[in-house]
Amino acid sequence: MEQKVMDLIKNKCGEENYKKLAVLNNQKVYDFVAKYIQQCNPDRVFVRTDSAEDALYIRNKAIENGEEKKLAINGHTVHFDGYYDQARDKDKTRYLLEKGIDLGPSIKGIDREKGLDEVHEYLKDSMSGKEMYVCFFCLGPLNSKFSISCVQITDSSYVAHSEGILYRSGYSEFKRKGNFNNFFRFIHSAGVIESGVSKDVAKRCIYIDLGDRIVFSTNTQYAGNTVGLKKLALRLAIYQASGEDWLAEHMFVMGVHNAKGRVTYFTGAFPSACGKTSTSMLTGETIIGDDIAYLRTKEGKAYAVNVESGIFGIIRDVNSQGDPLIWEALNSPGEVIFSNVLVTEKGVPSWLGNGSKIPESGINYSGEWTKGQKDSQGKEITSSHKNARYTVSISRLKNRDVKADDPGGVLIGGVIYGGRDSNISVPVQEAFDWKHGVLTMGASLESETTAATLGQEGVRKFNLMSNLDFLSIPLSKYINKHLDFGSKLNTVPVIFAVNYFLKDNQGNYLNGKEDKHVWLKWMEQRIHKEIEAIKTPTGFIPKYEDLKRLFKEVLDRNYTKEDYIKQFTLSVDENIAKIERIVTIYKTKVTDAPQVLFEVLQEQKQKLEEIKTEHGNYASPEILDVSELKISD
């Protein structure tokens, strides 16, 4: 049987690529590759090792196959997804579940046998006339107990190219580990290609088999649906972490530096397009990763690594003033993939909010485009898609942290939760303790939707830990895992909540785009107990004098008492209404929600009602600062 497997692989791989697999001495890899050679029927197979030559081969294939086109700057390319294939398809992303397994009403599943039959039917001969790419990567630093090895099979040179930028090459890890079984597997086919894009997006499906640790993706090209090691692998990792007492999170990892050279590392969870990347890229600070982190305990402390080595970032509103470091990387020679932007006849990419005038015409995700053009439903086609992206290696960034590849991870001092919230939460606040932060800031997170997922924008949605879309275990179990994680620590990270999107009654933002840097510096000083705070029913908030000093130090800006009161006035009714919404969700949509969640939320609600009785619906920070809630650490 094993010889038949190897003969099949050799027939499609040819001598050179066969040798690349043969030296791995891993039967599970051989079986996986052979099965999908037989199922997908590619004309030929290319095996990607860690070599620069193999990476270049795939980059060149992406141009040759028409999945990417060269741009004016050397190393820059553009990729277009289909008009109706522009975001993660949450509805078609489902778990393959054995009979009797229920992950809860918020997690979509399908009968495992039925799902396997369906996806294998889509995959049958899907690579006929194409080349199959077999790629090896590592989620996390090499030779680290944090990390997970992966094999990706795809017929898309764009997907293989993207992963080569976003992840550490893992071929050498497979050689080092030998005949091991603990790795993730991914199989993707773009399906029938017409005019350069997936034709059958109506048959798009993304299925996740938790027990077998494999992800299937068909009839789609958008990276969120196809780059298996990103959010699809996060689902597998959450499932694995739940049984091994660590956390797999939708979080950045960054270092915040003070004037004396101290570095404090933070993780931060934000839904897409809510400021996660821009926070992790603040000038003067250092980035380890902007999207996914694995957290483990060592000697009673929390450590984290960045799962990725690149950024798949939303490009809308990236400009030279707001994002100077990313802007420099996107405008300098070197490897960058732009997706679903507008490209002018001179080969220059243009996107919404880049600080320049929108061109009159060009090529975009709809094809040839002119200003004012509408689609078949009469909807105006924007020059660049709202969810247009860039893919770039973090090594291209000047603010890359020196510990970015440290196999031991970095010590975490603070955890941040953030989302889009126009009228409830203050710009920054600190939890009373780990339990309070997990339950009222993480497990109670709401955010207004954006173009990063399919569906209506601007709708307030529940999104605990900014990880709801990616959960592969019941919500109650996930919350308890977080509580347990903190309970085992001797040195506990401080939890914070931020909100960059607070508005006044006229709809004007109360935060400047750069203000987040001040909130971050305040958090860093709170972790080290260098400043006091005001205790409110929802958490600790800054004192005016500290923010006035920090705005001058960080932004060289005068910060007025008027701005402070507008930003940090407690909206009591809105906070109470939020608690009631969250309680309803957990009582009606979550099986066996932790009782402690209801207790903590009820206690917070009671404190809010006491404030309302004494001070009315809007309690300014000055009122709270002289109340009995005042604290001094």
Q: List, for residues 558-612, the tens digit of each pLDDT value.
A: 999 999 999 999 999 999 999 999 999 999 989 889 999 999 999 999 999 999 9
Query: Alpha-carbon distance 528 to 523, whole Å?
Result: 9
Q: Based on the domain organization, do 220 and 233 belong to the same domain?
A: yes
Query: Alpha-carbon distance 405 to 182, whole Å?
Result: 21
Q: Within a domain: residue 402?
A: no
Percent of the residues in the chain that have a pLDDT greater than 70, as a whole number:
97
Amino acid identity, position 194: E
Q: Based on the domain organization, do 20 and 98 belong to the same domain?
A: yes
Asked if residues 464 and 443 have their Cβ atoms less than 8 Å apart, the reply is: yes
Q: Within a domain: residue 113?
A: yes
Which residues lie closer than 8 Å to 170 by C-beta, 6 or more apart?
50, 136, 137, 138, 142, 149, 150
Query: Alpha-carbon distance 249 to 78, whole Å?
Result: 29
CB atoms within 10 A of CB 467: 24
pLDDT tens track for 392-405: 999 999 999 999 99
Q: How many domains does the chain have?
A: 3
Query: Alpha-carbon distance 625 to 341, whole Å?
Result: 48
The average confidence (pLDDT) of the chain is 94
Q: Within a domain: residue 420?
A: yes
Q: Based on the domain organization, do 479 and 527 belong to the same domain?
A: yes
Query: Alpha-carbon distance 177 to 160, whole Å?
Result: 23
pLDDT at 626: 64
386 phi and psi angles, rounded to 5 deg: -60, -25
Query: Alpha-carbon distance 593 to 218, whole Å?
Result: 35
Residue finishing a domain among 396, 423, 456? 396
What pairs with residue 133 in β-bridges?
46, 154
Q: Based on the domain organization, do 271 and 173 belong to the same domain?
A: no
pLDDT tens track for 425-448: 999 999 999 999 999 999 999 998
Q: Within a domain: residue 77?
A: no
Residue 446 — left, alpha, or beta (φ > 0 → left; ψ -120 to 50 → alpha)?
beta
Q: Within a domain: residue 79?
A: no
Q: Based on the domain organization, do 219 and 275 belong to the same domain?
A: no
Q: Within a domain: residue 633?
A: no
pTM: 0.94
pLDDT at 196: 86
Cα angle: 72, vertex 73, 74; to 5 degrees: 115
CB atoms within 10 A of CB 34: 19
Q: At what angle do helices 516-527 and 544-555 cross, to 10 degrees?
A: 120
pLDDT at 511 over 50: yes
Q: Based on the domain organization, do 167 and 180 belong to the same domain?
A: yes
Q: What is the CATH number of the domain that holds 566?
A: 3.90.228.20
pLDDT at 272: 78
Q: Based on the domain organization, do 228 and 91 belong to the same domain?
A: yes
Residue finishing a domain among 242, 258, 289? 242
In order of 9, 103, 381, 631, the CA distances from 376 in angstroms are 46, 39, 10, 60
Q: Based on the domain organization, do 157 and 197 belong to the same domain?
A: yes
Asked if residues 384 and 364 have their Cβ atoms less than 8 Å apart, the reply is: yes
Query: Alpha-carbon distance 614 to 267, whole Å?
Result: 37
Q: Kindly report the length of the chain.
A: 633
Q: Based on the domain organization, do 104 and 201 belong to the same domain?
A: yes
pLDDT at 453: 54
pLDDT at 1: 47
pLDDT at 450: 56
Asked if residues 307 and 166 have their Cβ atoms less than 8 Å apart, the reply is: no
pLDDT at 253 over 90: yes
Q: Active-site residue 135, yes or no? A: no
- One-character DSSP codes across 417-433: EE---SSSS-SEEE-SS
User: b/e per residue, 587-596, with b = 16+ CB within 10 A?
Assistant: eeebeebbee
Residue finishing a domain among 195, 223, 242? 242
Q: Within a domain: residue 184?
A: yes
Query: Alpha-carbon distance 623 to 614, whole Å?
Result: 10
Q: Based on the domain organization, do 137 and 92 belong to the same domain?
A: yes
352: number of CA atoms within 13 Å, CB side? 16
pLDDT at 454: 52
Please identify which of the residues 13, 40, 150, 274 carries the catalytic annotation: 274
Average pLDDT, integer, range 419-430: 94
**Domain of residue 49, residue span:** 2-67+86-242
**Strands 148-154 and 183-189: what pairing?**
parallel
Residue/partner pairs of 606-613 with CB below 8 Å, 24 or more apart: 607/537, 608/537, 608/538, 608/570, 608/572, 608/575, 608/576, 608/579, 609/572, 609/576, 610/537, 611/536, 611/537, 611/570, 611/572, 612/572, 612/573, 612/576
- Dump strand ranges (E) for 98-230: 109-111, 131-139, 148-154, 168-169, 183-189, 193-194, 197-198, 205-209, 214-218
Query: Alpha-carbon distance 624 to 308, whole Å?
Result: 43
pLDDT at 629: 46
Q: Within a domain: residue 134?
A: yes
CB atoms within 10 A of CB 319: 16
pLDDT at 633: 40
**Strands 410-418 and 263-269: what pairing?**
parallel
Asked if residues 287 and 252 have their Cβ atoms less than 8 Å apart, the reply is: yes
Average pLDDT, integer, range 76-83: 96
Asked if residues 243 and 477 have their Cβ atoms less than 8 Å apart, the reply is: no
pLDDT tens track for 333-385: 999 999 999 999 999 999 999 999 999 999 999 999 999 999 989 999 999 99
Q: How is residue 112 written in tokens?
A: 């495992």
Q: What is the CATH number of the domain that holds 164?
A: 3.40.449.10
368 phi and psi angles, rounded to 5 deg: -65, 130
Q: Based on the domain organization, do 581 and 614 belong to the same domain?
A: yes
Query: Alpha-carbon distance 83 to 88, whole Å?
Result: 13
Query: Alpha-carbon distance 127 to 37, whole Å?
Result: 9
pLDDT at 323 over 90: no
Q: Based on the domain organization, do 374 and 522 belong to the same domain?
A: no
pLDDT at 627: 56
**Surface-to-core class of residue 329, CB atoms within 10 Å of its CB (0-12 exposed, 13-18 middle, 19+ buried):** buried
14 phi and psi angles, rounded to 5 deg: 80, 170
pLDDT tens track for 450-490: 555 555 556 788 999 999 999 999 999 999 999 999 999 99
pLDDT at 631 over 60: no
